[in-house]
């Protein structure tokens, strides 16, 4: 005899629940307010949810209602059902004006409650992620969730399928009352899984009798099956399947229970992902903090002990680590070397490149006689040690420790000015950046100093900030330094820093550096 059990597929499309209940449940004291209004004015005050207002209400004002998202509360005077003694009633126009004021107050209160409601949810989401030691492994938690879902609706087995990174395959990741060998099976192609595709659209799918079904088939042999989506707020993650040995129907309550468990599974998966990402981010943050501290420790803090020269520098980083640096030291030729440089790569690659550049300059300055020789030797080292996509800018001054004379040279678009009592003049000529075969080789410029004469050097990013602000901004910067040229080098650098900070776009922080070499 043929089985008379109907074979069909049911889709559950969850709709937003309609608002139910009295307004007073959401607005304590609303009924009392309406009664007081009627006692004072003689006109009934009606407060109704939604936009549909009966014809008996002569006037209405919308006010946000926090009972449901997007729902409004309408406030109006019902003139058609006034008290039995109309002469004792207040003037209708005044009553309407009072009702309007009540509606405005209710609207303000509703918006405040709505903001509080959202704020509390955001604060709940801001709780730090912690991993307790007694929670067990994710595999155990997933298996427990599958078991809870199956036992809650009287099914015999359960399985969790998760999408891969390409969203083309569904891989079995957890099972309950199915052989563990199932986990070794290759993933299923999503294009061939019609039921899973439909579920990932947001529907719960019930296969009440799988006999005779061809398009919507169960991934496991079963007489009945239920498939619900496992989704986060932003993206689908996979599907949760329940399998039964006998044909059966599923009530809305049972489907809702399974969907709740699927939400718990999605939360477990997302939480595990976030904990892993948080641990990786914390480790990276610690590494960047250590690199930042190392960079700061490498910068010279005080001017060299010289009766002839004062040196001061400043640098800022756009990120945790800096792709620019400044330095000063005494070379093997008994000269004071003052360096400012920077890589053209973003952090953290730029920071590594700048560190290598600083080491190369110190090494070559130990034997070279002129700044241009140091720059050329540094370029050879930098070019041969680079994969070919790195470039840098560099300034070097070698100051005589006994005479007020210095030789300077630069590679890249570094801005260099000599500032004297007579004014400011540019020094370094444009040269190719380091990191490639030189088309314009750096040249030495000999600079002689009088007391209070100085050299101001800006890195490429700092010089670009001045250029973007206009010629007037650059002239104002140089004029500020010239006006205070008798101040110590540390004060002059602070003035330059303040001017550059004022000129820079606060929404676009960049690496920037400056150095002042001043003759006492």
What percentage of residues in the chain have a pLDDT greater than 90? 44
Q: Which residue has the tokens 């003035």?
A: 495
Q: What is the pLDDT of residues 51-104, one digit of tens each?
A: 555 555 555 555 554 444 444 566 666 655 544 444 445 677 788 788 888 878
Q: What is the pLDDT of residues 455-506, one digit of tens each?
A: 999 998 898 888 888 889 899 999 999 999 999 999 999 999 999 988 887 7
The Cα-based distances of 421 to 16, 446, 457, 481, 516 in angstroms read 78, 19, 18, 11, 16
Half-sphere exposure of 382 (CA within 13 A, CB side): 36
Q: What is the pLDDT of residues 416-438, one digit of tens each?
A: 999 999 999 998 666 788 887 66
| DSSP reduced 3-state for 47 | strand
Span 369-389, average pLDDT: 86
The Cα-based distances of 258 to 157, 221, 227, 387 in angstroms read 13, 20, 9, 55
Give the chain's end-to-end CA distance (angstroms, integer): 112
Helices 138-153 and 252-298: crossing angle in degrees, nearest 10, is 170
Question: Which band of pLDDT confidence, cut at 50, 70 and 90, is reported for residue 291?
Answer: confident
How far, in Å, CA of 445 to CA of 454, rounded?
Answer: 14
Q: Which residue has the tokens 């599958």?
A: 146
More confident residue, 340 or 302: 340
């Amino acid at each position: 005899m043929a089985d008379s059990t109907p074979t069909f597929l049911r889709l559950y499309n969850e709709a937003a629940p309609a608002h139910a209940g009295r307004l007073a449940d959401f607005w304590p004291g609303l009924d009392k307010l309406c009664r007081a209004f009627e006692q004072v004015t003689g006109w009934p005050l009606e407060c109704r949810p939604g936009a549909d207002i009966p014809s008996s209400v002569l006037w209405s004002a919308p006010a946000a209602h926090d009972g449901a998202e997007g729902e409004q509360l309408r406030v109006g005077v019902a003139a058609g059902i006034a008290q039995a003694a109309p002469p004792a009633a207040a003037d209708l126009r005044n009553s309407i004006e009072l009702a309007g004021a009540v509606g405005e107050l209710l609207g303000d209160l509703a918006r405040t409650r709505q903001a509080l409601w959202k704020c509390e949810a955001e604060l709940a989401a801001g709780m730090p992620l912690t991993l307790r030691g007694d929670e067990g492994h994710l595999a155990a938690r997933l298996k427990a969730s599958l078991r809870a879902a199956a036992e809650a609706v009287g099914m015999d087995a359960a399985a969790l399928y998760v999408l891969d990174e390409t969203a083309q395959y569904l891989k079995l990741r957890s099972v309950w009352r199915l052989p563990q060998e199932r986990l070794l099976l290759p993933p299923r192609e999503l294009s061939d899984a019609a039921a899973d595709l439909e579920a990932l659209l947001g529907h719960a799918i019930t296969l009440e009798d799988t006999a005779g079904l061809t398009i919507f088939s169960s991934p496991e042999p079963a007489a009945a099956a239920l498939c619900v989506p496992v989704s986060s707020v932003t993206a689908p993650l996979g599907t949760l399947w329940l399998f039964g040995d006998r044909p059966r129907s599923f009530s809305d309550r049972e489907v809702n229970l399974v969907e709740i468990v699927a939400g718990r599974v999605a939360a477990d998966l997302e939480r595990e992902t976030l904990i892993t990402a948080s641990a990786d981010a914390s480790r990276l943050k610690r590494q960047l903090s250590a690199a930042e501290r190392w960079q700061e420790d490498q910068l010279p803090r005080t001017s060299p002990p010289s009766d002839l020269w004062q040196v001061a520098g400043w640098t800022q980083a756009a990120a945790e680590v800096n792709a620019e640096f400044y330095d000063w030291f005494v070379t093997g030729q008994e000269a004071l070397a003052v360096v400012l440089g920077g890589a053209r790569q973003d952090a953290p690659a730029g920071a590594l490149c700048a560190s290598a550049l600083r080491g190369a300059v110190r090494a070559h300055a130990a034997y070279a006689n002129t700044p241009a020789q140091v720059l050329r030797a540094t370029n050879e080292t930098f070019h041969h040690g680079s994969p070919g996509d790195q470039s840098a800018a560099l300034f070097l001054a070698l100051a005589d420790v006994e005479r007020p004379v210095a030789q300077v040279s630069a590679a890249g678009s570094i801005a260099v000015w000599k500032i004297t009592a007579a004014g400011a003049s540019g020094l370094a000529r444009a040269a190719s950046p380091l990191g490639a075969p030189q088309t314009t080789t750096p040249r030495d410029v000999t600079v002689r100093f009088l007391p209070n004469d100085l050299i101001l050097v800006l890195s490429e990013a700092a010089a670009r900030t001045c250029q973007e602000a206009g010629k007037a901004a650059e002239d104002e910067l140089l004029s500020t330094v010239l006006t205070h040229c008798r101040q110590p080098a540390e004060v002059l650098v602070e003035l330059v820093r303040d001017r550059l900070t004022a000129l820079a776009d606060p929404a676009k922080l960049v690496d920037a550096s400056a150095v002042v070499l001043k003759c006492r």
